[in-house]
A and B are shown apart, each in its own frame.
Chain A
Amino acid sequence: MVSSRVLQLLACLASLLSAGAEDDSHLVIAPQSPVLEIGTNFTATCMIINTAEITADDLYWNLSKTTVSKEQYIKINKTALNVTIPITSEKPEWLFCLCKRVSPKVVLNNGRFIHGILLVKGYHPEKPENLSCVAVQNGTYISPSIRCEWEVVGRQTTEVPTTYTLIVRQVLSGETHYTSTPAKTAQVPLNVFPSFMLLDIWVEAHNKLGTIESEHLKKDANYFVKTNPPSDVTVISEKSFPTSLLINWAHPIASEYLRLMYQIRFCRLGSHIWNYVPLEDTSEYIQSFRLQNLRPDTVYVTQVRCKNSLKNHGFWSNWSNNATERTQEDRPRSKPDLWKIVTEDGIKFICKDPELSNGRITRFDIMIQNPKDKIKNGSSEWERIMVNRSEADSSSSHRKITLLKKIPLADKTSVKVYVTAINSVGKSDEALLVIPANANEFAPVEELMVWPHEGQLLLEWKPPTSTAVSEYVVEWVSGGQIDWQRERGSTRRTVIKGNLERFVCYNVSVYPIYSGRIGNPAHAEVFLEEGAPVRGPTVKLNGNPGRNEAKLTWEEIPQHSRRGFITNYTIFYTSGAEIHAITVPANTTSYTLTSLSANTKYDTWIKASTIRGSANGFNHSFTTLKYAPGEIEGIVVGVSLGFLFVVLMTMLICFYKKDLIKKNFWPQIPNPGESTIGNWSPDYPLKAETPKENCLSGISVLDMDICDGKCVIEEDKASLPLKKDKYLSEEHSSGIGGSSCMSSPRQSVSDSDEGGDMADTTSSTIQYSSVVASSGYKGQTPNSHPQQSIFSRSESTQPLLDSEENADMVVQDGSRQFQHFSRQPCCTHNAGNKDTTNCDDFSQLAVEQQEIPQSLDFCPLEEDNEQITPTDELSADWLPTVPVSSYMPQLGGYRPQ
Chain B
Amino acid sequence: MATSTERFARIVYKNWPSNVFNPLTRVINKRMWRWTSGVTLKPTAKILVEFDPWLGPEKTISCRNTVRMFANQKARKTNPKCEITTKIKNDRSEPIINIEYTDGERLIFKSAHLHELEIMERYMKKCAEKDPEIKLPL
Co-complex (A, B) = no
